[in-house]
């Protein structure tokens, strides 16, 4: 499907289910396009762009259609880069950490394991809070770069460990970031906020020689407590 005005994605969707005719027609066209170019799409599924899955979980067409009708599209997904459209050219400010280290992909993989195809299965309150923190940590630092908040914090904490930097030093570095980054940036303002981010995602704050070790110190991505819909009560656990 060619690029066009995608305002219908959000203006035509209604939470009461009374979606506009444009929304229904264009969503069916999106589904046709998304599934037509993927080998064995009905068997393996295609990443779902609903407001809950956010292109992190593969769904079959019927389930994806149900998700979009019930939950709507994820915010800001007007360029369908995960469904066959080319991404916008990387800006000059693009940081090499955005893809070279693969941290975001590791987190996305860990988030897929606990999902099911049921739209009625509700996660626990703790799991909802964890997933909200995880999604927030994967947002870009600001609108002109694709480096996520978590990637930036993981690298900064690795540098702190490697060079034995003091808390005062890290706070001054973060103060500099705050002064030079765009006003709407999401980088933590001090070391305490960095530690809160990592501890909230069950990641270590004071050890790890590399960003990958920070992410894997709790046993690797397979141990990340993302599963919120298990049949045994829905609780998750992590190594401490």
Give tens-digit pLDDT for 15-33. 888 999 999 999 999 999 8
Tell if the pTM clears 0.85, that is, is over it. Answer: no
201-208, long-range: CB within 8 Å, 24+ apart, which pairs? Answer: 201/130, 201/133, 201/134, 201/137, 201/150, 202/130, 202/238, 203/154, 205/157, 206/161, 207/161, 208/157, 208/158, 208/161
Tell me which of 61-75, 102-116, 169-183, 202-216 is least confident: 102-116
Cβ pair 211, 102 in contact under 8 A: no
Amino acid 132: pLDDT: 67
């Amino acid at each position: 499907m060619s690029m066009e005005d995608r305002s219908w994605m959000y203006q035509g969707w209604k939470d009461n289910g009374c979606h506009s005719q444009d929304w229904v027609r264009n969503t069916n066209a999106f589904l046709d396009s998304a599934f037509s170019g993927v080998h064995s799409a009905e068997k393996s599924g295609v990443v779902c762009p609903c407001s809950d899955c956010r292109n992190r979980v593969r769904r079959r067409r019927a389930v994806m259609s149900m998700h979009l009708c019930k939950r709507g599209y994820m915010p800001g997904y007007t360029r369908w880069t995960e469904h066959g459209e080319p991404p916008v050219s990387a800006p000059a400010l693009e940081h090499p950490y955005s893809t070279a280290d693969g941290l975001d992909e590791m987190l996305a993989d860990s988030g897929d394991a606990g999902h099911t195809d049921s739209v009625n299965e509700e996660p626990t309150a703790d799991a909802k809070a964890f997933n909200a923190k995880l999604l927030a940590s994967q947002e870009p630092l600001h609108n002109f770069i694709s480096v996520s908040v978590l990637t930036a914090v993981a690298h900064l904490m690795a540098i702190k460990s490697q060079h034995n930097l003091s808390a005062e030093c890290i706070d001054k570095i973060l103060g500099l970031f705050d002064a030079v980054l765009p006003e709407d940036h999401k980088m933590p303002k001090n070391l305490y906020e960095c530690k809160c981010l990592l501890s909230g995602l069950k990641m270590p704050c004071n050890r790890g020689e590399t960003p990958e070790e920070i992410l894997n110190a709790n046993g690797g991505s397979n141990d990340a407590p993302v599963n919120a819909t298990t049949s045994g009560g829905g609780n998750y656990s992590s190594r401490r």
